Structure 1
Amino acid sequence: MFLSHGVNELGELVSIHDVSSGRVPLSCPFCGKSLIAKKGSQKEHHFAHDGQTCSDATVTLQMTALPLFDVEMGLSKTEITLLEKLSRWRSFSRTWLSSKQRAAFDELVVSGLVEFQEGDDRPRLSKSAKQLLTLNSHTGRYFSIPDYAELQEALFVAKEKQLLAYDRDHGTHTTKFFRLRLATILQQHLYVLRMCLEQDSVCYPLLKVGMTTRSIEERMTEICRDLDKFGRIQNIEVLGFLHHFGSLEKRLLTLIQPHQHKLGSLTEYSDVLSIPPHLLNEDIRNLGKRKVNGHECSVTYRHHQRKIRGGQRRSQLLNDRHLGRPSKKADTLLEDYPDVIRAYENGLSFRKASSETGRAINTVRKVYDVLKVRGRTI
């Protein structure tokens, strides 16, 4: 957990992304000591004290740690243990809890992770709480990246509710620092790169996962410079550049860590051939688009294919027939796919036309059928 904001002479909070590396004219928001901007290539960019870190900063940073980013389990060990117990108990009484557990229980209720139904004194776990227990169990390794992102977003909201209640009771401002911390991380973009590194006449296919606020071209230039001392890069390919999904970097690094390909002090490279294919093909591509407004975020598209198929199955059950995307009219097909028309006129087969134009074979077939009906000849 790092300090991401300092205070300028006007008393305004300044982000680490708005300053250059080295000593800066900023001070710690808690103790007033001078700060140094640390902006290396290994760790997350952050401010460090010009001396020993103050205790107030340490406590506040621990309280405002981001779930499933700064805190790998999502919640503290005490809270996770309490959720596990609540999921097993068929009855409940606060007298069964220690003083530490009672405090954790109250925070879980405030956050909405533990709920009460009307007329029932027994607490129940929310959907997010159940998912969190699954993630921290032995089956957690099967948790998909889109589901992980959705859970993380729910925990961001739950954490904010906890801190708002704490600030109201204690007159503190931890929520403000949490929102600043969250806004800083949400500005980070997730990138996934595949490259071939030649060492001693052997070509190693490698994967690199990271986060950045800059363009992918700038980051790739730095990566090539870092790898020059270990070998020659034959090619480098962008598998994904996902805006505002930098909060998932640590999850991906954890999943690919067993396949690590260590290069000197660089530990963030992995062997592509050993990584499960679904991680790169399905999980990454199903993340969708995340919209960010300060510390708030929303995902406008996720699991698109799964949602479409689910809707089609429901429609089939209700209407006793398959309902899919409406068919295009003949004129619309010809307007939308002039490249397929050229392929038809050049005498290309379905497969060849699909390969040349990048269109699906069914799309090519539909256009070809319209052209044949209209009497065009090859």
Structure 2
Amino acid sequence: MTSLLGFLSAKKGKVKQHHFAHSSATCLPVANRDFPILPLYDNFNIYLSRKDLAQLKLLWKEYGSINYPISPGLVNPSLLKAGMFQKNVYLTPPAYEFTNLGKIPVGALEFSLFNEVQEPLLLKKLLKLELAAKHALYKNAADKLYRLTDLTLYRAQLQRILSCSLYFLEIQTNIGTLYKIGVTARPIQQRLAEIKVDLLPQYKTVAIQILGTWLHRGNVELYFKHRYHNYNYHIGSLTEYFKFGATDANAALHELQQMKDKVLSPGEIDILKDNISLSQVAMERRF
């Protein structure tokens, strides 16, 4: 597979930006194409224009946050087209309300509902990339290697979030309480040891309590940071810490606990096993 797609390497630092770099000549052509990113993973603006996003936030502040109906004259057609609002015909007169999708850019959608919105989009895009790659292979198209690369890159990203457990921690220090959201594919105790090493230069004492872990829920980490960005507390280059009051911390934990257990589909199980059948087909056909 590496002879076709180039070597893929994950880059990760303390300020996390997950991406995949090529070490072969496929990098340049792919760089000029749309990168096959996971839907609603690290960009929650639904690709709205700056003007539309500003209006969406204003409408949430003035109407959505208090569950008040929105007059049709206040809603841009582009926001309707993007699926941000739905008309409630049972109101007199009929008016618009935020959809679950429309609540995501403003960080207002609960985690359980966020999963219900995101998961079908993740699988829909996977199917689209698989069909494009199959078609390119069948037709022996000029862009078949790029189609396979797109599929492999997407599967690698999907594999990462599925292989990770989400965790939520309470951390008692000598000067107060912190909370941390994060993901790990390793035993949680190994990760806790690293976190303690990170924090001890900043605090005299560090005591960590695990509030919860959620298997295969790596997709939620960045949306948590988006939803609770007002509570985010940076410690140097460390970005996954939060300062909640006790009530807000309990509310965040309760919301996480309301998430349904992640049940893997056959396709997701295949991805976790790293079975990329299209690449095997390509090797057999010696493209």
TM-score range relative to shorter protein: 0.5 to 0.7
Q: Structure 2, unaligned stretches of length 5 or more?
A: 54-76, 85-97, 270-287
Structure 1 pair 259–218 and aligned structure 2 pair: CA distance change class (3 A): same
Structure 1 pair 257–86 and aligned structure 2 pair: CA distance change class (3 A): closer
* Number of the residue aligned with 2:102: 133
* 1:188-207 mapped onto 2 (5 Å cutoff): 188-198=164-174, 203-207=175-179
Higher relative contact order structure (alpha carbons within 8 Å, sequence separation ≥ 6): 2
Q: Give the letter for the 2:31 counterpart.
A: T
* Number of the residue aligned with 1:58: 31
Q: Does 1:158 align with 2:154?
A: no
Q: Does 1:270 align with 2:242?
A: yes
Equivalent pairs: percent with the same residue? 26
* 1:68-79 mapped onto 2 (5 Å cutoff): 68-73=40-45, 75-77=46-48
TM-score between the two structures when normalised by the length of structure 2: 0.63
Task: Tell me, in whole angstroms, the C-alpha distance in 1 between the residues paired with 2:156 and 2:228.
Answer: 29
Task: Tell me, in whole angstroms, the C-alpha distance in 2 between the residues paired with 1:277 and 1:165.
Answer: 44
* 1:1-150 mapped onto 2 (5 Å cutoff): 8=2, 11=3, 30=5, 32=6, 38-43=11-16, 47-49=20-22, 54-59=27-32, 62-73=34-45, 75-77=46-48, 84-85=80-81, 130-136=99-105, 140-150=106-116
1:193–1:236 CA contact under 8 A, matched in 2: yes
Q: Structure 1, unaligned stretches of length 5 or more?
A: 1-6, 12-28, 89-128, 298-378
1:36–1:48 CA contact under 8 A, matched in 2: yes
Structure 1 pair 255–76 and aligned structure 2 pair: CA distance change class (3 A): closer
Task: Tell me, in whole angstroms, the C-alpha distance in 1 between the residues paired with 2:124 and 2:81.
Answer: 20
Task: Tell me, in whole angstroms, the C-alpha distance in 1 between the residues paired with 2:80 and 2:223.
Answer: 22
* 1:191-230 mapped onto 2 (5 Å cutoff): 191-198=167-174, 203-230=175-202
Q: Provide, for residues 134-189 of structure 1, a one-character-per-residue CA deviation record: whole Å limited to 9, x for no partner.
A: 433xxx43311110011110211232344345443775333444233212221111
Could you tell me how far 1:204 is from its partner in structure 2?
A: 1.4
Task: Tell me, in whole angstroms, the C-alpha distance in 2 between the residues paired with 1:242 and 1:267.
Answer: 20
1:204–1:271 CA contact under 8 A, matched in 2: no
Structure 1 pair 59–232 and aligned structure 2 pair: CA distance change class (3 A): farther
Task: Tell me, in whole angstroms, the C-alpha distance in 1 between the residues paired with 2:35 and 2:11.
Answer: 22
* 1:244 counterpart SS class: coil
Could you tell me how far 1:251 is from its partner in structure 2?
A: 0.6
RMSD, matched Cα: 3.6
TM-score between the two structures when normalised by the length of structure 1: 0.50
Could you tell me how far 1:216 is from its partner in structure 2?
A: 0.8
How many residues were matched structurally?
Answer: 221
